Each structure stands twice: as structure tokens, then as C-alpha cells.
DNA sequence: CTGGATCCAAAAAGATACTG
DNA sequence: CAGTATCTTTTTGGATCCAG
């Protein structure tokens, strides 16, 4: 959904951002990476229960292309790849804060635990 | 995408919010309503160029069900219906502010005009 | 372990025509 | 004017299986 040279000219910053985070699991991936700082592929798969390998890989590729996450591949055996948020990705997560607060307050009931 | 008794239990506030605004045109509708305060159906159709009647009507129904917009129908001839943001909707728009700023800064280039 | 390749199902959106 | 009814197309995501 967001693979950098976006076709459509965006009307405003919000729908540009929506295009970047508009995947079923993207914000969950961002959240997991924000919490753990660095995650391997299999780690993320566990952090985001229910996601399939294909979709996780696809979302990670898009997030990487959009400059949100950084992918570091270590040429070892067995293979190891570490995903981390970029500076831009951390800014994005920060910008997502108020939206998350709104969701907890107005969609969910009270806020059991911060997220 | 969001019709109140949401099936899935949300993991956090952000994906709850994403479910509410996760339509191709929802944030544009919110933005238009925020700017104008009150809009009729045909007015919105012009404010959100490219959207079809069907999709606009569907999104408006969902936003109404989710408590984001208020629909006021006047029994006149010709028919007139006014859509306005609810208090919750205005809060949502406010929460969207930082995300829009991020998008303008990191997806679009500089910010030509505020939005 | 980290994914790529395929095939398939579901959801969302677009086109068009029609009605109270 | 403000939508609804259909039908079609596009987009996403899911299920598997396979490979470096």
C-alpha cells in the first residue's frame, strides 16, 4: 500500500501518513519494534500473533521502503536479520501517540494499561 | 471497516482508532467537516473529489455509527441533510494533528500550506 | 531461520442506473 | 437532493509449499 513513489498526489499530510501505516498489522509491527528496539523476523512473528510470514515480510518491505524501519542482515548460518525503527519511524510512533490515546478513550473503555 | 460492535478485540488504542478511520476517504471527510463545520451530502461530494456516492454514503454511515459524525435530516422538499462532527469527532481530528504533521514533514516535502 | 512464489478468499472501492 | 441497488474490478490478506 505504500511503496514510496506513491502514485497518487496526496491531498494532505494525513492521508500520506495513512498510506504508510494503512496495513492491517503495520501499527502493531511499529509498536513491537518500539517496545523491543530491535527484533528478528521470527521474534516479530511472535510479537504480532496471527500474522502470516508472507504478510509480515510484505509489510516489513514496505516499511523499509518508506524509511520507517531499518533492515540489517547478518551473513551467518543460520541467517539472522534484525529490524529496527529508523529516526523517522520513531517520530511516526510519537505522532501516533495522541491517536492511540483517543482510541483507548473513545473506542475502548477506560485505559487498563498504557499502549 | 468500523461498524461499532467491532468483532476483533483490539490489541491497543491505535488499531482501534485505525479501524475507525481506516477507509480510503475517511480522514478527508473528517477534514472537510472540520473545516466547514457542517456539510450537506452533495457539498461533501464536492469537497472530496473522486469519491463516489456509494462510498461516501457508506463511510458516512460508518462514521455516524462510530459516533464521529452527527446526521441531521430535515424533512423538507427538496430533501436536506446536514452532517457535522460530534465532540468525539473533533477530538479525533485533534488527535490526527501530529500524524498529519509527520506526513507533511516526512512523506511530502516541506509544508506548502497547513492541513 | 528468513523469506520468496503461488493460488485463493475476502474486503473494499468504482461504475452506473434508479428511486423517494 | 440524497441516497439505494447491482455488478465489476481492484486491493489485501490468508494458506501453503518451497528454497537459500
**Using one digit for the tens of pLDDT, what is the confidence trace for B58-100?**
999 999 999 999 999 999 999 999 999 999 999 999 999 999 9
Are residues B13 and A67, on separate chains, in Cβ contact within 8 Å?
A: no
For residue A113, is it within any domain?
no
The HSE-up count of residue B104 (CA atoms within 13 Å, CB side) is 15
- The C-alpha atoms of residue A90 and residue B76 are separated, in whole angstroms, by 52
In a domain, B1, yes or no: no
Residue B50, sorted as left (phi over 0), alpha (psi -120 to 50) or beta, turns out to be left
In a domain, residue A42? The reply is yes
Residue A6 forms part of a structural domain: no
Q: Which pLDDT score is estimated for B109? A: 83
The total number of structural domains in chain A stands at: 1
Range of the domain at B96: 13-106
Residue A75 sits in a domain whose CATH number is 1.10.10.10
CA dist A77 → A57, A73, A80, A84, B11 (Å) = 20, 11, 8, 21, 34
Q: What angle do CA B99, B104, B108 make, to 5 degrees?
A: 135
pTM (predicted TM-score): 0.91
pLDDT, tens only, A44-96: 999 999 999 999 999 999 999 999 999 999 999 999 999 999 999 999 999 99
Chain A contact probe: residue of B13, B16, B66 with most A CBs at under 10 A: B13
Closest CA to A11 of B83, B32, B59, B20: B32
Average pLDDT score over residue span A33-50: 97
- Residue A82 falls within a domain, yes or no? yes
Q: Confirm whether A23 is domain-assigned.
A: yes
Amino acid at each position: 500500500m505504500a511503496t514510496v513513489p506513491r502514485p497518487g498526489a496526496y491531498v494532505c499530510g494525513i492521508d500520506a501518513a495513512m498510506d504508510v501505516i494503512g496495513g492491517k498489522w503495520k501499527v502493531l509491527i511499529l509498536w513491537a519494534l518500539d517496545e523491543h528496539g530491535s527484533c528478528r523476523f521470527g521474534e516479530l512473528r511472535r510479537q504480532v500473533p496471527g500474522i502470516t510470514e508472507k504478510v509480515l515480510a510484505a509489510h516489513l518491505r514496505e516499511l523499509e521502503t518508506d524509511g520507517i524501519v531499518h533492515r540489517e542482515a547478518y551473513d551467518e548460518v543460520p541467517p539472522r536479520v534484525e529490524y529496527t525503527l529508523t529516526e523517522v519511524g520513531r517520530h511516526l510512533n510519537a505522532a501516533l501517540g495522541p491517536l492511540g490515546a483517543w482510541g483507548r478513550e473513545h473506542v475502548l473503555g477506560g485505559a487498563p494499561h498504557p499502549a
